[in-house]
Amino acid sequence: MPEAPPDEGPALHVEDVDVVYGRALSALRSVSLTVPHGGVVTLLGANGAGKTTLLRAVSGTLRLHRGAITAGRIRYGGTVLDGRDPVAAVRAGVVQVPEGRRVFAGLTVDENLRSGGLGLGRRAPAQVREARERVFSLFPRLAERTHQAAGLLSGGEQQMLAIGRALMAAPRLLLLDEPSLGLAPQMVYRIAEVVREINAQGTAVLLVEQNAGMALSLADHAHVLEVGEVRLAGPADELARTDAVRRLYLGEETGPETSSGTGRGAA
């Protein structure tokens, strides 16, 4: 597959963003990150750190959860993403795969796929066919089950369908929220391969994960969120070597006197 040069095409810029839910609950404080065109960036962090919130802010679904961006700015190429307009995000090429592999259980695989990219309005049949073929080449198992109800698929297959549905919108930036959650190791490995393949085809990826090992192996750049703030940020391979990440996110033992750190101070 042809690889686009890294700085040719739109990049995502999250600049000093604050997010509040309801009237008061501060979920993100002064968060900044960049996803270059064609890059893979991962966002790590414990439960409740604000990972999903950041994806919602980018994909325009924040308002559906009574959240709002109260400071800072998000840009994707020439488009300002304000957290309130999912259709604008999809039209700009930004598509989110929600957490918990939410597929329409009562609809078939095919119907689920057709629901992807609805926000784009009428598209040429050839474009839709091409997107479908891309999905089936990535996920041959879905091609064998087009008429099966999505609710009867295995957990891993449902995750593939959720990703496939997002790909039907031909995104240039894919937002993935914990795709490995609850899957057996072999399926986690398969999902990682798929992310690599999607990226090799030219789609940038912002990957939210608690599986730090998988995420750091895929990403160029990583950020660690802690209660709404970026604690550590840097090249993924460097971050994987810091004590804080090894201990807290990779589950490794680290000696007390070997502390070192990259980015903005260890946890």
Which residues sit at the interface with Mg ion, rule CB under 5 A? 52, 99
Question: Which residues lie below 8 Å from residue 129, measured CB to CB, with a gap of 6+?
Answer: none
Pick from Mg ion, ligand ATP, none: which does 105 bind, CB < 5 to 8 A by kind? none
Give the pairing type, strands 67-76 and 79-80: antiparallel
Candidate ranges 30-38, 49-57, 120-128, 152-160; the one touching ligand ATP (CB under 6 A): 49-57
**Residues 180-219, mask of contacts with ligand ATP (x by CB under 6 A):** ------------------------------x---------
Q: Which is nearer to Mg ion, 82 or 99 (CB)?
A: 99
Can you read off the two tokens belonging to residue 76? 């994707």
Residue 52 or 112 with smaller CB distance to Mg ion: 52
In Å, how far are 34, 51, 101, 214 from 67, measured between CA atoms?
22, 14, 22, 30
CB 211 to ligand ATP: min, Å? 11
Closer to ligand ATP at the Cβ: 66 or 102? 66
Residue 12, beta-bridge partner list:
35, 76
Q: Which of 105, 94, 108, 109 is nearest to 167 (CA)?
A: 94
Specify the amino acid at residue 71.
Answer: A
Residues 92 to 131 in contact with ligand ATP, rule: CB under 6 A: 99
- Pick the closer one to Mg ion by CB: 86 or 117: 86
Of the candidates 80, 58, 157, 67, which has an alpha carbon nearest to the alpha carbon of residue 112? 157
Alpha-carbon gap, residue 210 to 206, rounded angstroms: 13
Picked from ligand ATP, Mg ion, none, the partner binding residue 66 (CB below 5 to 8 A depending on kind) is ligand ATP
Residue 39 vs 45, nearer CB to Mg ion:
45
258 binds, among ligand ATP, Mg ion, none (CB under 5 to 8 A by kind): none
Check if the beta carbon of residue 266 is closer than 8 Å to that of residue 242: yes
Q: Which residues bind ligand ATP (CB under 6 A)?
A: 21-22, 25, 27, 45, 47-53, 65-66, 99, 210
